[in-house]
Amino acid sequence: MRSLGVFRYSGRALELVWGTSKALTFIMAGLTLIAGLLPGGIAWVGKQLIDAVVAGQISGDSAEALRWLGIEAGLIVAMAASQRGLGVAQSLLRAQLGHRVNVMILHKAQTLDLVHFEDSEFYDKMTRARREASSRPLSLVNRSFGLVQNGISLVTYGALLLQFSGWAVLVLAVAAVPAFVAETKFAGEAFRLFRWRSPETRKQMYLETVLAREDYAKEVKLFGLGGELVRRYRDIFGVLYGEDRDLTLRRGLWGFLLGLLSTVALYGAYAWVAVAAVATRITLGQMTMYLLIFRQGQGAFSAILQAIGGMYEDNLYLSNLYEFLEQEVAPLNGSATQGPDPRDGIRFEDVWFTYPGATEPALRAVTFHLRPGTRLALVGHNGSGKTTLIKVLTRLYTQDRGRILLDGLPLEEWDPAVLRARVGVIFQDFVRYQFTVGENIGMGDVDRVTDQAGIVQAAERGMAAPFIETFPAKYDTQLGRWFKDGRELSIGQWQKVALSRAMMREKADILVLDEPTAAMDAEAEAEIFQRLADLTEDQMAILISHRFSTVRMADHIAVLHQGALVEEGSHESLMEQGGRYAHLFTLQAKGYQ
Ligand code: ADP
């Protein structure tokens, strides 16, 4: 029953609203009921009024007519009050509901795996869920309530009309069916069109970002990409607009033709009523009431059609939202807080990993052992799997095969929080938070974001302190360009800030630096690596670097090639072997001679 799809999510939207504010939902339901019943009542009172006027013309007494007039005025005031009340309740609910849905989305995002963020379709779901979070759920609720309100009105009109003729009610109801069906059909088509085109919409959004954001502006300007990108943006619009136009035209045409059918039926009934009044089979009051009912009934009817059309879009949003919220996430549910052999360090045993959708494994049978107190350097060409190795070690991904042990215990059995607390990692694409420089460093240990002394100490270890001290606002200097008085740093300075952030994790005994020093001068990188030499007995460090002058200082060097660990050992032993490492080292050393 595709046509029932419009109501599929109404229940859940209502649940959402009910959960947000019971009082407001209750008020809205009550007011909807009142607003639905009143129009029928007003029409009926109008009839009484006219009949009283006609009777008054004969008797000369206007008291009865005035009484009905007073009642009608009262009902009109009640109608205005209930409609205004609905508006107020909706505004209040909109703010609360939007906030609630946004928080639900953000909470869910925290539980997702990295894989999800890299899955374009899923990412798309999340983006869409966020974009309309504050308007769609309430819109669906408003439309559902509107539908109920207009539905109640139609039923009361039908009941009043029944006194005139059951046939008239039947004819009007049947004539309305085609327009209903057409509306649901076209709304369904719009639903599918919209869903299916989301990659194009996403591309458009991406182009907007590239064209309008500060971190892209430099390249876009210098490569003169503006014209080309705007052209692509326009082309996508052209395609989407073409499809939209076709659907809109068909929808408009059919809507008009089928609506005409209802109008013809309506005027037929109209004529019937007029003839009956002329023949005095019904009173003038009754005639006025029926004509009013027809007119208002048609209004209520087209309001219902419009609500259905809009509800499909709201359902589309909610289906997307719930798909996102209900995405299964494999829980990280280990509970161990220590391993059986704390002196064992890290072991990789035949670890394989292939990225979702990739054909070639990014890690193949990687096996190595890193003892506490040692520094490991990972070497290899771009794409050889170095970062991937770090990602599986930090549990951002889970290996497909093999085991990774820490202190003799597989990573899966560790309590994720304990594991995370033990690892300090800086990736090559570390985040440049648009916060103050102090916060940028403090974020390394979320419990100590405001620990000034700790931050200064970490900045000294990460070599950021000297340049931060030269800023007038020192550690309170706002970084980035998004906010007022923001200050941009050089890439090398950003790296030092990121490094200080890693240093903030004092309790971490596994320190991982994935090329965060690439933009620093060789001297700075060497100095940082020297500092790593101050590792305590039970700390471990893993460093990825393309500078062999640094790499050679490591205790242990592992060479990756196409995902496999092909050589390992100390600098001296690897040079002696005369293999890949020796070749690369000699190549770079020559460049400096
Ligand atoms: P390195 O750090 O040594 O430069 P990576 O570990 O980043 O190399 O990449 C190893 C391989 O995995 C490459 O072939 C790369 O194309 C692929 N890869 C890296 N990240 C992803 C990802 N998120 N999704 C799919 N493939 C990836």
Q: Kindly report the backbone phi and psi dihedral angles of residue 480, in degrees, each rounded to the nearest multiple of 5, phi listed first.
A: 85, 175
CB atoms under 10 Å from CB of 323, counted, come to: 12
Report if residue 4 sits inside a domain. no
Least confident of 116-120, 266-270, 366-370, 477-481: 116-120
Measured CA to CA, the distance from residue 542 to residue 532 in angstroms comes to: 10
* Residues 250-262, mean pLDDT to the nearest whole number: 86
- The domain boundary, picked from 484, 508, 532, lies at 508
572 three-state secondary structure: helix
Evaluate: CB of 467 within 6 angstroms of ligand 1.
Answer: no
DSSP for 272-312, written as a single string: HHHHHHHTTSS-HHHHHHHHHHHHHHHHHHHHHHHHHHHHH
Measured CA to CA, the distance from residue 175 to residue 539 in angstroms comes to: 80
Query: What pLDDT, on a 0 to 100 scale, did the predictor assign at position 489?
Result: 86
Could you give the maximum distance between any two Cα atoms of the chain, in Å?
Answer: 125
Query: What pLDDT, on a 0 to 100 scale, did the predictor assign at position 533?
Result: 61
Phi-psi region of 263 (alpha: psi -120 to 50; beta: other; left: phi over 0): alpha
DSSP for 244-279, written as a single string: HHHHHHHHHHHHHHHHHHHHHHHHHHHHHHHHHHHT
Q: Would you say 24 and 104 are in contact if contact means Cβ atoms under 8 Å apart?
A: no
Measured CA to CA, the distance from residue 454 to residue 107 in angstroms comes to: 29
Are residues 191 and 63 located together in one domain of the fold?
yes
Instruction: Please give the share of the chain, as a percent, with pLDDT higher than 70.
Output: 96
Evaluate: CB of 380 within 6 angstroms of ligand 1.
Answer: yes
CATH of the domain at 272: 1.20.1560.10
Q: Would you say 291 and 270 are in contact if contact means Cβ atoms under 8 Å apart?
A: yes
Query: What pLDDT, on a 0 to 100 scale, did the predictor assign at position 558?
Result: 92
Query: What pLDDT, on a 0 to 100 scale, did the predictor assign at position 529?
Result: 73
Evaluate: CB of 386 within 6 angstroms of ligand 1.
Answer: yes
Are residues 300 and 442 located together in one domain of the fold?
no
> Which residues are paired to 512 by β-bridges?
425, 542
Map tokens 């009817």 to a residue.
Answer: 301
Instruction: Specify the pairing of strand 510-514 against strand 540-544.
Output: parallel
Report if residue 330 sits inside a domain. no
CA 317 to each of CA 6, 137, 307, 313: distance values in angstroms, whole numbers, following the listed order: 12, 8, 15, 6
* Residues 484-504, mean pLDDT to the nearest whole number: 85
Are residues 157 and 306 located together in one domain of the fold?
yes
Query: What pLDDT, on a 0 to 100 scale, did the predictor assign at position 74?
Result: 95
Query: What pLDDT, on a 0 to 100 scale, did the predictor assign at position 350?
Result: 93
Report if residue 272 sits inside a domain. yes
Q: Choose which residue among 352, 360, 382, 387 to substitute to test ligand 1 binding: the one with the highest number of ligand atoms within 8 A of its C-beta.
A: 387
Evaluate: CB of 352 within 6 angstroms of ligand 1.
Answer: no
CB atoms under 10 Å from CB of 272, counted, come to: 16
Q: Choose which residue among 388, 389, 399 to substitute to test ligand 1 binding: the one with the highest number of ligand atoms within 8 A of its C-beta.
A: 388
Which residue's CA lies nearest to atom 16 of ligand 1? 383
Instruction: State in Å: Cα 56 to ligand 1 middle.
Output: 91
- The DSSP element (H or E) to which 133 belongs, if any, is none
- The domain boundary, picked from 325, 341, 367, lies at 325
Three-state SS annotation for 302-350: HHHHHHHHHHHHHHHHHHHHHHHHCCCCCCCCCCECCCCCCCCCEEEEE
The one-character DSSP state at 477 is: P
Instruction: State in Å: Cα 513 to ligand 1 middle.
Output: 17
pLDDT class of 234 with cuts at 50, 70, 90? very high
Which residue's CA lies nearest to atom 27 of ligand 1? 355
DSSP for 382-428, written as a single string: TTSSHHHHHHHHTTSS--SEEEEEETTEEGGGB-HHHHHHHEEEE-T
Q: Would you say 312 and 187 are in contact if contact means Cβ atoms under 8 Å apart?
A: yes
34: containing domain? 10-325
Q: Would you say 152 and 33 are in contact if contact means Cβ atoms under 8 Å apart?
A: yes
Tokens, residue 68: 């009905």
Report if residue 502 sits inside a domain. yes
Map tokens 């393309």 to a residue.
Answer: 546
Query: What pLDDT, on a 0 to 100 scale, did the predictor assign at position 30?
Result: 93
512 three-state secondary structure: strand
- For the chain, report the end-to-end CA distance as a whole number of angstroms: 77
Phi-psi region of 396 (alpha: psi -120 to 50; beta: other; left: phi over 0): alpha
Query: What pLDDT, on a 0 to 100 scale, did the predictor assign at position 589?
Result: 74
Query: What pLDDT, on a 0 to 100 scale, did the predictor assign at position 2?
Result: 45
Map tokens 């200050």 to a residue.
Answer: 487
Report if residue 539 sits inside a domain. no
Are residues 50 and 181 located together in one domain of the fold?
yes
Measured CA to CA, the distance from residue 580 to residue 564 in angstroms comes to: 13
Q: Kindly report the backbone phi and psi dihedral angles of residue 338, in degrees, each rounded to the nearest multiple of 5, phi listed first.
A: -155, 155
Q: What does the mean pLDDT of the chain come to? A: 85
Q: Would you say 201 and 124 are in contact if contact means Cβ atoms under 8 Å apart?
A: no
Q: Measuring CA to CA, which residue among 296, 312, 299 is closest to residue 182?
A: 312
Report if residue 278 sits inside a domain. yes
pLDDT tens digit sequence for 459-476: 988 888 888 989 888 888
Query: What pLDDT, on a 0 to 100 scale, did the predictor assign at position 38?
Result: 93
pTM of the model: 0.70
Report if residue 560 sits inside a domain. no
Evaluate: CB of 388 within 6 angstroms of ligand 1.
Answer: yes
Are residues 316 and 451 located together in one domain of the fold?
no
pLDDT class of 3 with cuts at 50, 70, 90? very low
- Cα angle, residue 534 at apex, residues 529 and 537 outer, rounded to 5°: 125
Which residue's CA lies nearest to atom 25 of ligand 1? 355
- The DSSP element (H or E) to which 543 belongs, if any, is strand 540-544
Instruction: State in Å: Cα 388 to ligand 1 middle.
Output: 6
Instruction: State in Å: Cα 354 to ligand 1 middle.
Output: 9
pLDDT tens digit sequence for 268-306: 888 888 899 899 888 889 988 988 888 888 888 888 888
CATH of the domain at 486: 3.40.50.300
> Crossing angle, helix 198-212 and helix 166-196, to 10 degrees?
60
Give every CB contact of residue 424 below 8 A, 6+ residues apart in sequence: 444, 502, 503, 504, 505, 508, 510, 511, 512
* Residues 447-460, mean pLDDT to the nearest whole number: 87
CB atoms under 10 Å from CB of 386, counted, come to: 24
- Read off the amino acid at residue 523: E
| Cα dihedral across residues 156, 158, 159, 161: positive or negative | positive
CB atoms under 10 Å from CB of 36, counted, come to: 22
Are residues 170 and 312 located together in one domain of the fold?
yes
CA 353 to each of CA 361, 362, 388, 389, 398: distance values in angstroms, whole numbers, following the listed order: 6, 6, 8, 9, 8
Measured CA to CA, the distance from residue 556 to residue 375 in angstroms comes to: 6
Evaluate: CB of 545 within 6 angstroms of ligand 1.
Answer: no
Which residue's CA lies nearest to atom 22 of ligand 1? 355
Report if residue 540 sits inside a domain. no
Measured CA to CA, the distance from residue 461 to residue 506 in angstroms comes to: 11
- Read off the amino acid at residue 587: L
Tokens, residue 495: 């790296």
Measured CA to CA, the distance from residue 448 to residue 439 in angstroms comes to: 10
478 three-state secondary structure: strand
Query: What pLDDT, on a 0 to 100 scale, did the predictor assign at position 338?
Result: 84
Q: In the predicted model, is pLDDT for residue 203 greater than 90?
A: no
- The domain boundary, picked from 272, 302, 325, lies at 325
pLDDT class of 1 with cuts at 50, 70, 90? very low
- Cα angle, residue 104 at apex, residues 100 and 109 outer, rounded to 5°: 150
Most confident region among 176-190, 196-210, 296-310, 452-466 by mean pLDDT: 452-466
Measured CA to CA, the distance from residue 135 to residue 523 in angstroms comes to: 54
Which residue's CA lies nearest to atom 8 of ligand 1? 383
Give how many domains the chain has, as a whole number.
2
